[in-house]
Structure 1
Amino acid sequence: MATDNFYETKNGRTSFFDGGLLQFIGWTILGILVTVFTLGIYSFWVFIKLEDWKAKNTSFVN
């Protein structure tokens, strides 16, 4: 399933990202829709939610 091509090593730590493109697109579309419905109020949290999604889908091997 996962090969060495999916691993990245920085500063002596090896990480693996297991998030999918469709999940990212879904969260982005959801963020845009909620921003429109809240008249822009949610726009401050869209970036934070996307960064949180990236962090949750990154695993460290070491």
Structure 2
Amino acid sequence: MENTSKTVEYREVKNGKQSFFDGGLAQFIGYLILGIIVTCITFGICYPWSFTMIYNWQINTLL
């Protein structure tokens, strides 16, 4: 039996530009800590807000 595994590379192109991650680790950790603090202070009420804040940061750094 042959090994037929292939390496597949995915690249997303939007408006003629290749997508790449341009965010820094320190910035991501800062957003993550802010989200945790806000979630703890509000006893979990603002968890959806902190989740979308972090997700929005990730999306905006990809575009």
Counterpart AA for 2:36: I
Q: Deviations over 1:8-61 (max 9, x none)?
A: 613xx12111001111111000000011111111111121111100111113xx
Report the TM-score, using the length of structure 2 for normalisation: 0.69
Report the TM-score, using the length of structure 1 for normalisation: 0.70
Bigger Rg over Cα: 2
When the two structures are aligned, how many residues end up with a matched partner?
50
Runs of 4+ in 1 over 3 A off after TM superposition: none
Q: Which 5+ residue runs of structure 1 have no aligned equivalent? A: 1-7
> Root-mean-square deviation (CA), in Å?
1.4
Q: Which has the higher contact order (CA 8 A, sep 6+)?
A: 1
Identity %: 46
